[in-house]
Amino acid sequence: MIRLISVALACFALLVSATTADVTRQVMWDDLVPPAPPLHDPFMRLTNDQKLDLHAIIGIKVEKMQGLIDENDRLWEIALERIEKLTKQGLDVEALIKQYIALEKEIAKRGAAVVGALDGQLVRIPGYVLPLEFSGTEVNEFFLVPYVGACIHVPPPPPNQMVFVRLGDRTISGDLYEPVWITGRMKVEKTNTSLTYFDGQSMVDAGYTLDGLKVENYEP
């Protein structure tokens, strides 16, 4: 009798695990970002003018490093003038540039971090369809992004806010500027995919892949 009860309980446990494994989990974009402590902003004490000057100095230094300008260029003179200006205001410009670089690296690191627990989950997530090519209205591979117009002439969202969706033999058509719900099997799988713009192409990183099973019009 005890053996029969044990077998029954084991079968019940297997049944429960089998049925709950494929329960669709609704996720939002914040769920794709691992928790992290707040970022420290080392520039809070700077005025807006000082921030603009620092940003200009960094931009010009980058152009010089890339060989786009040299020390005889007027832009380099502007950078030196602004460095002198900030120095007279009591700021350590080189230290601020190092802090800026460290902050950019931390932001990039956090943007690439993914939630491993989502791997293999059946999920339902809302977003906007960003076709890989703009040559037609029907697509079966695209990026799902959190806001309309992402990647269009602006830096793309970080990888953990980009989902590469494959619909297999299905297609989605219609107004691609309207939000949708996508249901499918999520993989924590990084991709680097070519995205075609109206005036060129670029490679875009996504931190997640979704094998789409169903597309629905968005309703809150």
pLDDT of residue 153: 59
Which two tokens mark 180? 């949708």
Cα angle 215-219-220, degrees, rounded to a multiple of 5: 125
Cβ–Cβ under 8 Å, residues 93 and 86: yes
Residue 201's DSSP bridge partners are 196
Question: Among 48-52, 108-112, 114-118, 153-157, which is the least confidently predicted range?
Answer: 153-157
Average pLDDT over residues 116-135: 90
CA distance 178 to 164: 18
Cβ atoms of residues 86 and 97 within 8 Å:
no
- List pLDDT tens digits, range 8-61: 444 444 444 444 457 999 999 999 999 999 998 999 999 999 999 999 999 999
Domains of the chain: 48-112 (no CATH), 117-217 (2.40.50.870)
C-alpha–C-alpha distance, residues 27 and 211, integer Å: 15
One-letter identity of residue 132? L
CB 212 within 8 A of CB 127: no
- Of the given ranges (11-20, 46-55, 194-203, 211-220), which has the lowest mean pLDDT? 11-20
What SS3 state is found at 147?
coil
Mean pLDDT value of segment 176-192: 92
